[in-house]
Structure 1
Amino acid sequence: VVNPWGLGSFTSQVMVDIYNLSGYLVAQVPLQPAPYPLLGFQIGFFTVPPNMPPGWYNAVFVATENTSTGPLFGYLNQSFYVAPASVQAPLVVIPSFAFENQWIQIKAYILYPNGTPVTSGEFVATLLPVQDIYNLLLLSFETGVPLQYNATLGAWVGYVQVPSILSPSVYLGEGVYSLAGPWDLVVAGVTPTGLNLYPSVWPIYVEPFTYMDPTTLTASNVSALSSVIGSGDVLYNVYFPSLTLIGVNVTLVNSEVGQLTVINSHVNLVNCNVSTINAVGSTVALNGGVVEGGTVGINAVDSNVIVKGTEFRDLGYAFSVSHASLSVEGATYINVGNIATDEASALEQEVASGVSEALSQLISATPQSLTPRPLVTQLPSAPAAVEQPSQPLTALPSSANTAGDALWLALTASAVASASIVLALLRPRRG
């Protein structure tokens, strides 16, 4: 509302008179100055009563203002249609969460009151933060996405991109954490016969990460990317379904990566979540964060791996290294089958298990009055003239014949420094 002097937003009074097509005054709605961010507007609400006959109605906006030269009046006419019924969207399919900058698909199943699908009309989906739901009308004009009917799916389909620091929109300038949190997807529209779909609201949570398509970073493009979502060679709060690094020095901070492949590169992961890391001729340093969900957490060939305070979770193996150095400090393992795929470690576990079983059987066969002597371990050097077998050989009796028999366990393994390991259980003696 503006008077000839450019004022009037807060000094004028606006009344909306609603008439039917016969010219009968049906209702009057007073408007009030709107709060921020709608300063300059006046706003009011009218609820259509259930007994209001369907059809067209005229809304006449009457503005008045008292001035020193006398009263001023302003008029504006609008029309609206009251439909005999409304359509519904009982199901809108969207993901429960999404990343910033990610494209998400919307499938809205819109039905007539009798349950048959709506196949024509105009329907729009608007994605907006929960705290901005009051501003739905304006944001639907700014960011609303039209839906199209897909006869194969029997649904109205559209695609919307979650706002981010990379995508220009009404949210331009907002940071990663400002854009994260609970959002709503609102579907609304009208059929060709004037049946309205009143706003159908569906929640979605936006994660504080900028979604990036599967990417290969090299010296030629890493700087361009980091200038947008980081600084220097540091990337902050990004999500890559898969990321390949070739010949670069990169640091990822507070980020998530599906599969990370590192070739002739140096990468620092600070508080990052990764599914699998494959490193060749590289240095990989992890500080905090989580490695989870893969068969092997870190595969390293001709590489250096440094781990500090990282959690390994839901893995078959935490590490698989070949001609690589591995430094681990303060790591935790949850639901991890084995720490490493090293053959020597596996053999040691096998021997320890066999000795424990044999000792248990020997003790169970010993009379109560007998006290077994302690286990004695001898590690003699293998004679140089004796040729060692090329494959590990384990000889372990399934049980001791009698309590008085000595049990010998011999393991000869070329994998363990070409040495023979002899474990002897001596004959138990009385007293």
Structure 2
Amino acid sequence: MRRALGFALVLALGCTPDPQPTPGPDPTPDTTGGGEEIAEVIPAEPGAPELTTAVGRGATPEEALTAARQAFREAVLGPWGRDAPVELFDPAHDEVVTEEGAGGHQASIRLERARGEALLAALPQLLPQPGFSSAPLARLQEAAVANFVCDRRQALLADESCERTELEPLLREANEAVRALRLEPLWDGGVPVAAEAGPVRKPAVRLVRDGEPVTAFAGLPLVAEPMAEGEGEAVRGAIDARGLALLEVDLAEPQVVTLDRAGLVPPLGSIFGELRTPLTQRRVDGRRWALVLTGAADPARDAFAAALGTGLRSRGARVRRPLEPRTRRALLDARGRGAALRALADAERGALDVVLVAEVESHFASRMGTRRVWYEATANLKVYSAWTGQPLTELTARANANGIGDERAEAAAREQVAQDLVRQLAAIPALALGSSAARAQADHLRLARR
């Protein structure tokens, strides 16, 4: 009754029921990936001549081929091979079949048995193998490579003829060898950047243990990536024989440097723990300084140095330890000063930006009564970039002061001239000497965040 009533209502409204669609054939699936870059390994059918097929899909033929080459690595090397820094595809031996569909492009590379056997035979020479001078790491790497090749032969060729090495004792030795390793920036506070010249040293990190450089892991792969996701490409590098890694990165965006585990044959990447360090830049300024005074040491000379240091620290400069006598002598030699400055900057690893070379003289001016004496002091101060060895500016100052006795009067005059030089230094924008240490630290943090 309800069905009849419903039909009558349809007729009364002057409508007819929608015709039901006639079942048809299923639409042909789009195998081109809809423009998204996809890499896939497709196992071969039983009895097929190929071992497997690597398929890549993308919006362009180039993207599809890139994805197919990635899948080809995975087909030969397993899941680790997807991101491993190994290129196995060879256009002379590996044929690429391309297709185009409504959703994009597809590239396929068949891994024939003969080609697979040739690649597996060459695998020990193709796999990444850093030249570790650490004996435990070298032994573990040799065994890991042999086991890896054995595993891949079994997976692809069902070859059971090879024997695997027991890694447990080698892993224990290697774990001890990498104990307490850390990554840290080479340059204290960030890569030094001059206001106009740009970076004055290359971005670099170093491998250390207990604060001392470690040189037994040459070839250890690293990767630098922007701290902010999606801000740039990853840049790869490696630790060298000095325990350093120089990285060709743009530090307009702060980076983070980590161990590139894809660059180590499993299980080597798992034994190093968390190797990670930020990599930023900072502006070169006058807050990281050193003073070199001409002439012999005496109380008046020390008074000038103390007053200059106090004045600079009041404007945000760091507390500075004295330079070694041999270093001071090298910096006082005008002929080799540039090279000595650059070597000092490298040795200080960012703790020093400018070197002040001062020549101070003072002499008796007049006497007031029987005890009070006036002295006049003059100073010439040359400011050098420690990084480039080049002079930045030259300042002069003159002052008069009095005191009880010659020694106090002379020291007072030199203190006055030092305070005048501090005021002149603070007026130079490039030296960025603020009114307080807090402002100096804030400036540094703002630069590091950029």
Q: Do they superpose with TM above 0.5?
A: no
Larger RCO (CA under 8 A, 6+ residues apart): 2
- Structure 1 or 2: larger strand share? 1
Q: TM (normalized to structure 1)?
A: 0.30
